[in-house]
Amino acid sequence: MRVTTRIIPALGLAIFVAGCGDMQSLDVNRGIDPLNVIDESNLNNIMLTAADPEEAVNYFREASRGSPERLDLRRGLATSLVRARRAAEGEVVWRDIVASNEATDQDRIDYADALIRNSNWDEAEAQLDLVPPTFETYERYRLEAMIADSNQEWDRADSFYETAVGLTTRPANVLNNWGYSRLTRGDYEGAEGLFIEAITYDPDLFTAKNNLVLARAAQGNYQLPLVRMTQIERAQLLHTAALAAIRQGEVDVGRGLLSDAIDTHPQHFDAAVRALRALDTEIRA
């Protein structure tokens, strides 16, 4: 770091210090403000990504009260409310944000996300229709796919899901959603392939593992897939396969799978025990 030394006449220095105390204070404040902005920005990012969702809600609510004109703080509050599974409250905040003259296309997409979480499908679709087609993001196409699903527009849904997958490096969740869409349509083989692909991207995504078992069971295959799973997950997946078998009339298969689930679980597996007792009671009756 270069150090520059200036020689200032003593009298001139004395006059400067004595006469410009206010200016000196202002200069110090000018030097501090940008640093505060940087620190606040970092803190906001931490609150949005790493902090406990309820803690983030409290932080952004207090910050918004202190600076109600700041849209970024209200965005933080809305996002935190959705993260905290308080989507109904988040929807209200997002509605106010999109009504602002400073609202962005991303704001409408986030608002649509909150609307979908509250099953307000028509309003979510209306908000996405206001976003220009040139605004192409993973979030936008993921939501478009879900809305197309709700309208049973299967070709559009598949197209949107495929586009969303191509716009992210972490497609496990959207692949799982796509697989569930295929599952509800009765395309069990197609659903199975998508669930397997989701698990390859995220081996810990239990929802995809559970859905994979359902897709296989719908095809009469009750064996667990060869994917990584913990002992507890194995017991839970056996329970899922058992219930699917029973619903399809394969009662003996279901009973055996329930027994395996109880034996596999490292603790008492109450749900499986109750299901097995209910099954035996029904048969005796």
Is there a single domain that holds both residue 157 and residue 214?
Answer: yes
pLDDT of residue 284: 57
**DSSP state string for the chain:** ---------HHHHHHHHHH-HHHHHHHHHHHHHHHHHHHHHHHHHHHHHTS-HHHHHHHHHHHHHH-TT-HHHHHHHHHHHHHTT-HHHHHHHHHHHHTSTT--HHHHHHHHHHHHHTT-HHHHHHHHHTS-TT---HHHHHHHHHHHHHTT-HHHHHHHHHHHHHT-S--HHHHHHHHHHHHHHT-HHHHHHHHHHHHHH-TT-HHHHHHHHHHHHHTT--SPPSS---HHHHHHHHHHHHHHHHHTT-HHHHHHHHHHHHHHSSS--HHHHHHHHHHHHHHH-
**pLDDT number for residue 162:** 97
Which of 204, 223, 242 represents a domain boundary (last residue)?
223
Within-domain flag for 30: no
Residue 7 lies in a domain: no
Distance CA 90, CA 94 (A): 6
Position 179: which residue type?
G
pLDDT in the model for residue 44: 76
Quick check: is 57 in a domain? Answer: no
Domains of the chain: total: 2
**What pLDDT shows up at residue 13?**
34
CATH, residue 153: 1.25.40.10
Last residue of a domain, one of 174, 203, 223: 223
Verdict on whether the full-model pTM lies above 0.85: no
Range of the domain at 251: 230-285
Last residue in a domain, options 223, 247, 262: 223
**Position 100 in a domain:** no
Q: What is the mean pLDDT of each run of 10 residues along the chain (285 residues)?
A: 40 36 39 44 74 87 88 92 93 94 94 95 96 95 96 96 96 96 95 97 96 96 94 96 93 92 91 87 63
Same domain, residue pair 153 and 202:
yes
